[in-house]
Chain A
Amino acid sequence: ETGVTQTPRHLVMGMTNKKSLKCEQHLGHNAMYWYKQSAKKPLELMFVYNFKEQTENNSVPSRFSPECPNSSHLFLHLHTLQPEDSALYLCASSGQDYGYTFGSGTRLTVV
């Protein structure tokens, strides 16, 4: 258990569906992040939240919509996705310690 929990672990969705990814941490961290991991590409930073406020949106398409209701929870709402959005979506958090703590990720397949 890494301290950052992501659900679901696997998700298959059609292009017209709406689904949400959830991330939860109880490490007392104040910052949370969404990353996208695709094969043979660098991890792509998508969104950054600091004390519930979004501080970075890395030119992510609007079909991805983040939500951070409090410092412990982070959501990624998905709608009308494309097959190229299939990837591993990783959540991470950080606080006063060095580096980030990552969750195990959600493996998303868009069909």
Chain B
Amino acid sequence: GEDVEQSLFLSVREGDSSVINCTYTDSSSTYLYWYKQEPGAGLQLLTYIFSNMDMKQDQRLTVLLNKKDKHLSLRIADTQTGDSAIYFCADSAGTYNTDKLIFGTGTRLQVFP
């Protein structure tokens, strides 16, 4: 079946850039997503990218997609302590944006001063 993999932890200094990586196996993915989960909360959609794009920028967030390698990354510029959270990569296992999402384990980002 489809699989999404992420590293479990990332620690960065405040003001530096953070890069969170994700690999997926489903070659038919049409949309890939990044979600953020703060303590005690559900998942919040941060951004998404369509599979025919290789980059999307949204303020401090940059998403890079390498479809050949099935690799997705999320770069957070000027990381702040408020960015500390768990970040989930998700792959839409189907051709429609509302098809079921397959999530990774999440990467816990810790930002230290």
B-binding residues in A (CB < 8 A): 2, 4, 6, 31, 33, 35, 40-43, 45, 48, 56, 90, 92, 94-105
Contacts and interface: CB of A to CB of B under 8 A. Distances in A.
A2 B42 contact: yes
B42 A43 contact: no
B100 A104 contact: no
11 contacts: A2-B44, A35-B103, A40-B8, A42-B102, A42-B103, A42-B106, A45-B100, A97-B97, A98-B31, A99-B45, A103-B42
Given A42-B105, A43-B88, A45-B102, A102 B43 contact: yes
A104 B41 contact: yes
- Grouping DSSP codes into helix (H, G, I), strand (E, B) and loop, the B interface class, with mixed when no group exceeds half, is strand
A82 B105 CA distance: 23
